[in-house]
Amino acid sequence: MGTPEFPNLGKHCMVEDCRQIDFLPFTCDRCSQVFCLEHRSYVKHQCTKADKNDVTVVICPLCAKGVRLIPDQDPNITWESHVNTDCDPSNYEKVTKKRKCPVPGCREVLTFSNTIKCRDCTVDHCLKHRFGLDHKCPGPKKPETTFSFMGGVSRSRKDSPSQRPGQVPAGSSRWSASLLSAASSFRASTEAGIAKLGSEFNRAFQIAKEGAGPSSSNGSGTGEAEVCPQCSAKFASVTALVDHVQKVHENTNNRGGVRKVTIDVCPKCSRGFRDPVSLVEHVERDHGGTSRA
């Protein structure tokens, strides 16, 4: 077989009835034997290991799963192993049940090529009912466009009853926290200003009332009577004028709406003035320009 130059050239076919020498032989990938061109297929040389690399899958009628049969193993053993370990009958409906179009009366099965998802209601429909009017689309969910600030603040206060007045809730946003802190600081400063103004007014009124007694003789010695700026009544002393304004005009403010007038008292002679400019001119003219008692 072969030539002196190529001694291994060509091989005989392994089929007994053939035994033909072939210079381009074929090796079977199952039984690893050499055959000629005519007997190269599994059927022609009746290969005993033709099903060695075959993949055979059987669909289980209980769970609809594929069971691969092992070539060198008995199919009954493979089936019994699947039933005892992997078989799940509850999976049958999930695998075999086909999705259909949700439109009432439509029996179209939804597949990869005829399924359209509505961009408003995000539900899959068939091509026939892909538009919103065809499947009565409810439309997209409308977002909340209004926001009740006071309602949000009250809800946050109810959720945290043990919270301090100046403490900001942990879940609130940055802008609401800054707004609450600004409101708290503004309220605190306003209350402090009102309290300071009330204390200053009470202190000035008490000083004027206490200083009017001993210096009333000096004021009356000048012969000038104190005149009420609202009813033009005359009084001999500032104390009497102040008592008259408190008893008569401050009480009538609640009933008749009479405008309340502030009276400035001279610290030197205890004379009352409705206009602060008149008080300054009086001090400069009668007391030598100094207002210290």
The token pair that represents 253 in the structure block: 């403010």
For the ranges 1-5, 18-22, 231-235, the lowest mean pLDDT is seen at 1-5
For 224, residues 6+ apart whose C-beta sits below 8 A from its C-beta are: 271
DSSP state for residue 100 in the 8-state scheme: B
Burial grade of 236 (CB within 10 A; 0-12, 13-18, 19 or more): middle
pLDDT tens digits, 70-120 = 877 888 898 889 889 888 888 887 777 788 899 999 989 888 888 999 988
Cβ pair 221, 238 in contact under 8 A:
no
Q: Tell whether the model's pLDDT for residue 28 goes beyond 70.
A: yes
User: Which pLDDT score, from 0 to 100, does residue 267 have?
Assistant: 78
Tell me the longest C-alpha to C-alpha distance in the chain: 164
| Inter-residue long-range contacts of 135-143, CB under 8 Å, 24+ positions, other chains counted | 135/102, 135/103
Q: Tell whether the model's pLDDT for residue 219 goes beyond 60.
A: no
Percentages helix, strand, coil for the chain (3-state, rounded to 5) are 35, 10, 55
- The residue with greater pLDDT, 285 or 150, is 285
DSSP state for residue 109 in the 8-state scheme: B
- The residue with greater pLDDT, 125 or 97, is 125
Cα–Cα distance, 74 to 77 (Å, whole number): 5
pLDDT tens digits, 147-179 = 454 555 555 555 554 545 445 444 446 666 776
Cβ pair 157, 163 in contact under 8 A:
yes
Cβ pair 242, 208 in contact under 8 A:
yes
